[in-house]
């Protein structure tokens, strides 16, 4: 089992949900407003007058075999407009 954490410009939400559906991913936790700044070249997403955009975040639990295709599609989406901001991270989850 893998956990996938995604933080992204809110404008990507519907596209990411569609990618999840098309990859067979169903279970998630969603935060509709998250604030932050990319670690390398990202602009802040703070929801204020200077930096008005905001992020959304998802935490998805997925079967290992579904994650590579999901990551591939997220990478393709991010490459369309890298300035908007989309980051994802995965880690292994123990199932006890």
What gap in Å lies between CA 49 and CA 73, rounded to an integer? 32
**Which pLDDT value is given to residue 45?**
83
**Of 94, 95, 93, 96, residue with least CA distance to 4:** 93
Q: Is 74 exposed, middle or buried (0-12, 13-18, 19+ CB in 10 A)?
A: buried
Regions of the chain with pLDDT less than 50: none
Whether the CB-CB separation of 66 and 23 falls below 8 Å is answered with: yes
Q: DSSP assignment, residue 24?
A: T
The whole-model pTM stands at: 0.89
What gap in Å lies between CA 29 and CA 20, rounded to an integer? 13
Delineate the domains of the chain, giving CATH numbers in brackets: 2-27+50-92 (3.30.70.120)
């Amino acid at each position: 089992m893998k956990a996938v954490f995604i933080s992204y410009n809110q404008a990507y939400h519907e596209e990411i949900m569609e990618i999840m559906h098309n990859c067979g991913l169903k279970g998630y936790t969603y935060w509709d407003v998250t604030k932050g700044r990319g670690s390398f070249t990202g602009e802040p997403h703070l929801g204020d007058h200077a930096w008005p955009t905001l992020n959304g975040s998802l935490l998805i639990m997925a079967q290992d075999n579904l994650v590579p295709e999901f990551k591939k599609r997220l990478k393709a989406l991010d490459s369309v407009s890298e300035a908007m901001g989309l980051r994802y991270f995965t880690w292994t989850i123990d199932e006890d």
